[in-house]
């Protein structure tokens, strides 16, 4: 490995845009789910041309490069070694254009989700992706993880909102697929190679997002339910009653709710803790009177059918925010825990979480198992905290969670991706032929394996059995 790589990179970006030594060690991660930053240097390009030149230099030297967006991912997707170069997109943070007529936002990859949401709002439009890490995660990061979030039930995953993008391949080739049209079948849809591929096939530098209509009506309710069957029934009723305005359907097990609200948590409790499940339902639309009346009718019918034991409807934007703050209060749950993000049939989720909970407690009696997630999207998160967790114990927890999942034909990653953390378990959800194709694509686009090595697949990946059989 050449020792002059840092000085070559300094020639590309200038000495002020590269950190070494303490500048690397002091790199701050916004969430406690990340290990310390180890790297030869952290480099901050400011343009696509600089990213391309960085990769040319690194590829020639066989130097590994780990792309960093907001570093909020939950799968060790940004894990580094002391030999890596970190390429941070933080300084590529310009919104280039909002086209109100075409309803698109074009931006550099380092723009944060919050910045994009606010810019769209200022233009009278709506940015369709949203979740708790919004202040830190970046457009490049959410595209490269194909993130989901709170509004998937209405707008789909990030992929559904990406019209075009620009990416740089390992050898420095710039692939500009900055399409702005809903329809464009002119050859392969190359952007899809980079959506959800977690930085192993190329570095995303610019993105074109499709924007939505800004809502003028918001209705939010928080309901307490006593059985999971009731939660599923509430989801079915909401889908039938407000099919065009239903924007979010979130579920929290009581353990989650208790950690978020008083007296255990720090937030005010709009509904008393102690029920088995808490559900947030949100509708957004453009006809205040009609939407509000449909939402009220839904609540009345749920009450008549006794599908919830307690509940509240937000009477103002502030009250709606207070409800959402509870769902966003994930740090006390996921910090220091082993976090899972799985997909399975919504109706099976309650049974699945109960089985996991029982099996974990049998082996780890002191464990804390917390469920929450995007029920309308078949997606549940489970956080398992074990005192003094060691690698072997973490593996034991993973075995329980994924072995239970296999019985439900579930997916090991609903929205967070594979990173390093779930690589071992990929064969539960993907066939050997699928993994082989991923491996061949990686080998073709990054033959020296310099891009985010070790994440998702490697050029020399062999289909492996998750249980080592
Ligand atoms: C509080 C909290 C709530 C969350 N809620 C959700 C949720 O509801 N739904 C959901 O899907 N996810 C959620 N996540 C996880 C989610 O994956 C990330 O927050 C987000 O998608 C990652 O964006 P980022 O900019 O932080 O990317 P990073 O964490 O920096 O990177 C993610 C991966 O992409 C790569 N990468 C980053 N930028 C680029 C780029 N420009 N080009 C190529 N590769 C790149 C990285 O190497 C890494 O492999 C949550 C995380 C937190 C902490």
Q: What is the pLDDT of residues 116-156, one digit of tens each?
A: 999 999 999 999 999 999 999 999 999 999 999 999 999 99
How large is the average pLDDT for residues 9-13?
A: 97
For the cut 70, the answer to whether the pLDDT of residue 461 exceeds it is no
- The protein residue with its alpha carbon nearest to ligand 1, atom 27, reads 141
At 107-117, the pLDDT tens digits run 999 999 999 99
- Residue 311: beta bridge partners? 223
pLDDT tens sequence across 22-71 = 889 888 888 765 678 999 999 999 999 999 999 999 999 999 999 999 99
Q: What is the model's pLDDT at position 3?
A: 59
109 touches ligand 1 (CB under 6 Å): yes
Residue range 449-456: mean pLDDT, rounded: 97
* Beta carbons within 8 Å of 417's beta carbon, 6+ residues apart: 73, 75, 77, 145, 146, 196, 198, 456
Q: 331-418, which class in CATH? A: alpha beta
CA distance 408 to 346: 11
Q: What mean pLDDT value characterizes the chain? A: 94
**Ligand 1 centroid from CA 361, angstroms:** 30
Lowest mean per-residue pLDDT among 23-32, 174-183, 328-337, 394-403: 23-32
The CATH number of the structural domain formed by 5-88 is: 3.30.43.10
Digit-coded pLDDT (tens) for 195-219 = 999 999 999 999 999 999 999 999 9
Percent of the chain with pLDDT over 70: 97
Question: Which residues of the chain does CATH 3.30.43.10 include?
Answer: 5-88
Cα 350 to its chain centre, rounded Å, is 22
Best mutation site among 66, 86, 147 for ligand 1 pocket (most ligand atoms within 8 Å of CB):
147
Q: What local confidence, expressed as pLDDT, does residue 2 receive?
A: 44
- CA angle, corner 279, sides to 276 and 283, nearest 5? 170
Q: Tell me how far the alpha carbon of residue 72 lies from the centroid of ligand 1, in angstroms.
A: 5
Ligand 1 in contact with 197 (CB < 6 A)? Answer: no
Query: Does pLDDT of 1 surpass 50?
Result: no
User: Hey, which CATH number is domain 95-213, 3.30.465.10, 3.40.1260.10, 2.60.120.20, 3.50.50.60?
Assistant: 3.30.465.10
Pocket-testing residue among 27, 37, 54, 72, ligand 1, by greatest number of atoms within 8 A of Cβ? 72
Within the chain, all domains assigned CATH 3.30.70.2740 are found at: 331-418
Band of pLDDT at residue 467, cut at 50, 70 and 90: very low
d(CA 58, CA 39): 14
Rounded to the nearest angstrom, the distance between the alpha carbon of 415 and the centre of ligand 1 is 10
Are 77 and 419 in contact, with CB atoms under 8 Å apart? Answer: yes
Q: What pLDDT is recorded for position 26?
A: 85
- Binding site membership of 63 for ligand 1 (Cβ less than 6 Å): no
Three-state SS across 211-234? CEECCCEEEEEEEEECCHHHHHHH
Ligand 1 binding pocket mutation candidate from 35, 67, 177 (most atoms within 8 A of CB): 67
Determine the Cα–Cα distance for residues 353 and 222; give it in Å rounded to an integer.
21
Phi-psi region of 166 (alpha: psi -120 to 50; beta: other; left: phi over 0): beta
What is the per-residue pLDDT across 71-81, written as a single tens digit (0 to 9) for each?
999 999 999 99
Using a 6 Å cutoff on CB, does residue 371 contact ligand 1? no
Minimum-distance ligand 1 atom for the alpha carbon of 112: 25
Q: Which pair of structure tokens corresponds to residue 151?
A: 């509004």
Average pLDDT over residues 237-258: 98
- Every domain of the chain with CATH number 3.30.465.10 lies at 95-213
Over pLDDT 90: what percentage of the chain? 90
For ligand 1, whether the C-beta of 155 sits within 6 Å is no
What 20-24 contacts at long range (C-beta under 8 Å, 24+ apart), as own/partner pairs, is: 24/86
- Looking at the domain that runs over 217-328, which CATH code has it been given? 3.30.70.2190
* Cα of 33 from ligand 1 centre, angstroms: 12
| Pairing outcome for strands 368-374 and 310-313 | unpaired
Confidence of residue 388 (pLDDT cuts 50, 70, 90): confident
Please tell me the predicted confidence (pLDDT) of residue 269.
97
């Amino acid at each position: 490995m050449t020792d002059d790589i840092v000085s070559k990179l300094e020639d590309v970006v200038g000495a002020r845009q590269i950190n070494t030594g303490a500048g690397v060690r002091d790199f701050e991660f916004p969430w406690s789910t990340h290990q310390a930053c180890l790297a030869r240097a952290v480099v901050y390009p400011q343009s696509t041309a600089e990213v391309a030149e960085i990769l040319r230099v690194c590829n020639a030297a066989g130097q590994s490069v780990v792309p960093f967006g907001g570093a909020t991912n939950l799968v060790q997707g940004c894990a580094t070694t002391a030999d890596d170069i970190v390429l941070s997109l933080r300084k590529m943070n310009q919104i280039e254009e909002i086209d109100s007529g075409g309803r698109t936002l074009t931006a550099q990859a380092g723009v944060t989700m919050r910045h994009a949401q606010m810019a769209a709002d200022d233009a009278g439009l709506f940015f369709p992706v949203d979740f708790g890490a919004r202040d830190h995660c970046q457009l490049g990061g959410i595209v490269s993880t194909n993130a989901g979030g709170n509004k998937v039930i209405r707008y789909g995953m990030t992929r559904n909102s990406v019209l075009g993008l620009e990416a740089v391949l390992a050898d420095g080739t710039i692939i500009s697929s900055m399409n702005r049209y809903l329809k464009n079948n002119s050859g392969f849809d190359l952007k899809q190679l980079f959506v959800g591929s977690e930085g192993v096939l190329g570095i995303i530098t610019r993105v074109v997002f499709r924007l939505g209509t800004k809502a003028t009506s918001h209705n939010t309710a928080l309901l307490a339910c006593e059985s999971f069957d009731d939660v599923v029934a509430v989801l079915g009723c909401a889908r039938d009653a407000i099919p065009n305005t239903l924007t979010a359907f979130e579920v929290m097990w009581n353990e989650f709710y208790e950690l978020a609200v008083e007296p255990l948590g720090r937030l005010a409790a709009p509904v008393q803790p102690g029920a088995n499940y808490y559900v947030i339902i949100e509708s957004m639309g453009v006809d205040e009177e009609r939407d509000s009346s449909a939402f009220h009718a839904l609540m009345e019918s749920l009450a008549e059918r006794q599908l919830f034991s307690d509940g509240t409807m937000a009477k103002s934007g502030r009250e709606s925010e207070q409800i959402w703050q509870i769902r966003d209060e994930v740090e006390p749950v996921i910090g220091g825990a082993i976090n899972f993000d799985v997909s399975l049939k919504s109706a099976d989720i309650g049974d699945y979480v109960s089985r996991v909970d029982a099996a974990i407690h049998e082996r780890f009696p002191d464990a804390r198992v917390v469920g929450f997630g995007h029920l309308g999207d078949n997606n549940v998160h489970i956080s398992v905290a074990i005192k003094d967790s060691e690698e072997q114990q973490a593996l034991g927890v993973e075995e329980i969670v994924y072995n239970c999942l296999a019985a439900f034909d579930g997916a090991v990653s609903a929205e967070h991706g594979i990173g390093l953390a779930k690589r071992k378990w990929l064969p539960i959800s993907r066939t050997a032929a699928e993994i082989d194709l991923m491996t061949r694509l990686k080998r073709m686009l990054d033959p020296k394996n310099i891009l985010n090595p070790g994440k998702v697949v490697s050029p020399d990946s062999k289909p492996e059995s998750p249980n080592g059989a």
